[in-house]
A and B are shown apart, each in its own frame.
Chain A
Amino acid sequence: MLRIIDNLKNLYRYRVLIHSLVVRELKARYRGTILGFLWSFFNPLLLMIVYTIVFGFIIKPRDPSIGSSPWHYALFLFSGVLPWTWFSSSSLESANVLMIHGNLIKKILFPAEVLPVVVVTSNFIHFIFGLPILLLFVLIFGKSLTIYLLFLPLVMLVQYVFTLGFGLLISALTVHFRDIKDILANVLTFWFFATPIVYPMTFETIAKSKALRLFLNFNPMTHIMQGYQYSVFYGRLLPWKRLSVTLIVAIILFFIGYYIFDRLRDSFPEEV
């Protein structure tokens, strides 16, 4: 435990390195494209349009809590999909990141834990870029932004810690068990649907089934996603008790992830 705290202090010392690597990651991502940084806005915008067409006008699932407007369901969906994308691409990239940057780990003295941190952080920045699009559509579609929006940073913090813990765990394990990469892609699909993103918790079938509710409540991502939905879409106070418990869970996951990462660290230079 003491060692972990020591290492965490080191992690803080690496902030300049993390900062420049995140900047590099963001620069490199759109290098050579004509629109460049604008893609960070266009991608979520285009996604939003697709969701609006498909779920607003074609499929039309309705739930009393969302309202009857075809635009509103798309908005609800988007307020969950946007942060979920942050989580899922961070996880998938973490699974690969130690192998991709194997040269750094093998050839120079490099703190390996910086790599998952960079992955989660640069995806976080992308998420931040997408956020104005979401908020813009909230206004366009006739909803109003409320004071509860101020809770958003808290939700992001919980998600950041949770995603980083998961990323550390996945990145360390994938070095030894490459199959995780493929398993993970499927797990994430399952996880996506096991989280109230396409449906609200108040959906008829869920409201009726106690087992289903229990199952969903055990999923930490449920509470994180609800945090976004409450703050942005519903404009209500988020269920802060549940989110606090989720924060504790996230911190525990972070320490477990960091512990395993630390234990396996010495094997990285040979195995990546």
Chain B
Amino acid sequence: MYAIEVENVTRIYQKYSARHRFQTFKSALLKGDLFRALKPDELVTALDGVSFKVRKGETFGIIGENGSGKSTLLKIIAGITKPTSGSVKTDGKISALIELGAGFHPEISGRENIFINGIMLGLSRKEIQEKFDEIVRFAELEDFIDAPVKTYSSGMYMRLGFSIAINVNPDILLVDEVLAVGDAAFVPKCLDRIDDFRRRKKTILFVSHDLATVKKICDRVAWLKAGRVMTIGDPSRVVDAYLQDVVERQEREFERRQEELRKQEELRRSIELRRREELKLKEEKRREAELRGETFEASETGFPEARGQEAEPAKEAEARGEERRQQRWGKREIEIIRVTLRNLQGQAKHVFSPEEGLIIEMDVHAYSRIEDFVFGIGIFNSQGIYVYGTNTHLEDYTPISIEGEGKVICRIEKLNLINGTYYLDVATHKRDGYPYDYHRNLYTFLVTSTHRDEGITRLPHTWETTPNIKLKPPERKLISG
């Protein structure tokens, strides 16, 4: 009934320090208590009470961040490592696509490696002989099969590894993120093969970061977080819950980064202020000296000036490095004090889905009454491509007056951007371009989704065909889109 039964599996990794090792060796030699002495001094819990069952013929997905224990779990199911406690029962021959071509010997030919690797994976010589041509054909290595494996490209290496492992013809296939390295032509072929397995009602355990694929092919999904199972169930639901969690974490990460930037900016400003004060002080001294008619230049400046000149370029260069991407200029007759990004519900955030709206909220302060002003925004993607920009002048708003504090809000109903990091410029300036306060690249936000479309923006669209063209729509609806 069940192909895989994982019962309350806990896996604790042991770390031994160098000093500890030495003492162990000593005491093992002196007292002869090798096994007792081999006690680790640090424990890392990779899996913590994980239980689930996979039915025969089911495609079961495991998702989770890096380091959440996915690979450890797979290795335990494959029997490569043992659980610290708990048990794993499997029914049927297992083939693990964990590391493709792990057993290849670089010096000998692909042909010989196929045989040895096949034997390692539990095939007999005869079985390999029968499948040999199929393995080579699937790996597309007909012309290179007698060359030593060390001459293979990493793609060829991976193809051969995959081809052998899949031809073991297992009852249970464990797939761990191995498709991440394949080229554009080979990955669909692998997925086809996995699909083929699904059709033949074999059990597949699929670990991947490719959530769209997980949603597409898996019957059920488990989400692992820090070694614990968070939820198991319907792929869409679990993937959404996982994405939600990822977004929250990214949000926190963004906040932390913004906080850091703010602190840096403050520091820079305080340094700038101090430098100005010092300059002023020096200027005063110089004037005093001139008044007293002393030859200040000759006696004094040689030293402090030189030091100043030496220090400043370094400092400036440092600041420039920081400012190449992030800049702020203008005399700030009107100052943009703060910029907040919100969704349409008014919640401040930095991670958005393409379907969400974005509110850019600027707190501004005009220190005197000004009658010529424009507010504008610009959005750049991570390659520096100008995605979109507009301002109140371009949209024919006529400035009347501004004085004191206030808010300017730009409301974007739907972002429609592809996945990625975006940089935001905000500015206020005169109609002729004279800047009051210009913030370049000071604000960033992230767009994430399970869409895999490309380009710059996600244009709203649908697909339709005439009835004679058979095009199957995706089985499961993509996330809210």
Residues on A facing B (Cβ under 8 Å): 16-17, 20-21, 24, 27-28, 31-32, 103-110, 176-177, 179, 260, 263-264, 266-267, 269-271
Contact = CB atoms under 8 A, between A and B. Distances in A.
B116 A24 contact: yes
**Residue from B34, B120, B121 with most neighbouring chain A CB atoms (10 Å):** B120
B443 interface: no
A232 B21 CA distance: 46
B80 A269 contact: yes
A176 B102 contact: no
Contact of A177 (B21, B35, B96): B21
Interface string B377-416: 0000000000000000000000000000000000000000
B120 A108 contact: yes
23 contacts: A16-B119, A16-B124, A17-B116, A17-B119, A21-B116, A24-B112, A104-B102, A106-B80, A108-B80, A108-B98, A108-B121, A109-B78, A109-B96, A110-B120, A176-B16, A176-B21, A177-B21, A177-B24, A177-B25, A267-B14, A269-B81, A270-B13, A270-B81
B116 A20 contact: yes
Given A107-B98, A176-B38, A269-B75, A27 B112 contact: yes
Contacts of A267: 14, 38
Interface string B426-469: 00000000000000000000000000000000000000000000
Contact of A260 (B34, B75, B79, B80): B34
A19 to B, nearest CB: 9
Closest CB pairs A-B (n = 4): A107-B102, A107-B99, A28-B107, A31-B107
Nearest to A173: B34
B469 to A, nearest CB: 45
B181 interface: no
Contacts of B121: 108
B271 interface: no
A270 B44 CA distance: 12
B111 to A, nearest CB: 12
Residue among B24, B35, B119 with the most chain A CB within 10 A? B119
A103 B120 contact: no
Contacts of A109: 78-80, 94, 96
B154 to A, nearest CB: 15
A155 to B, nearest CB: 31
B21 A108 contact: no
Given A108-B99, A177-B21, A263-B35, A17 B82 contact: no
Contacts of A263: 35
Contacts of B34: 260
A21 B118 CA distance: 12
Interface of B: 13-14, 16, 21, 24-25, 34-35, 38, 75, 78-82, 94, 96, 98-99, 102-103, 105, 107-108, 112, 115-116, 119-121, 124-125, 148
A106 B81 CA distance: 8
Question: A interface, by DSSP: helix, strand, loop or mixed?
Answer: helix
B401 to A, nearest CB: 71
Contacts of A110: 80, 103, 120
B39 to A, nearest CB: 11
Contacts of A271: 16
Contact of B14 (A21, A24, A27, A270): A270
Give the secondary structure class of B's interface: mixed
B173 to A, nearest CB: 14
Given A16-B124, A17-B119, A31 B108 contact: yes
A107 B80 contact: yes
B105 A24 contact: yes
A108 B125 contact: no
B21 A17 contact: no
Contacts of B125: 16
Nearest to B103: A104
Nearest to A264: B38
Contacts of B38: 176, 264, 267
Contacts of A24: 105, 108, 112, 116
A28 B105 contact: yes
A263 B13 CA distance: 17
A253 to B, nearest CB: 16
Contacts of A264: 38
B165 to A, nearest CB: 9
A218 B340 CA distance: 83
B301 to A, nearest CB: 63
B175 to A, nearest CB: 14
Contacts of B99: 103, 106-108
Contacts of A260: 34
B24 to A, nearest CB: 7
B133 to A, nearest CB: 20
Nearest to A18: B119
A215 to B, nearest CB: 21
Given A106-B99, A106-B102, 6 more contacts: A105-B80, A109-B94, A177-B21, A179-B25, A267-B38, A269-B81
Nearest to B104: A103
B343 to A, nearest CB: 44
Contacts of A106: 80, 99, 102
A103 B119 CA distance: 16
A176 B24 contact: yes
A103 B157 CA distance: 15
Contacts of A104: 102-103, 120
B119 A20 contact: yes
Contacts of B98: 107-108
A21 B102 CA distance: 14
B103 A27 contact: no
A137 B21 CA distance: 49
Nearest to A108: B102
A31 B148 CA distance: 10
Nearest to A106: B80
Nearest to B100: A107
B402 to A, nearest CB: 66
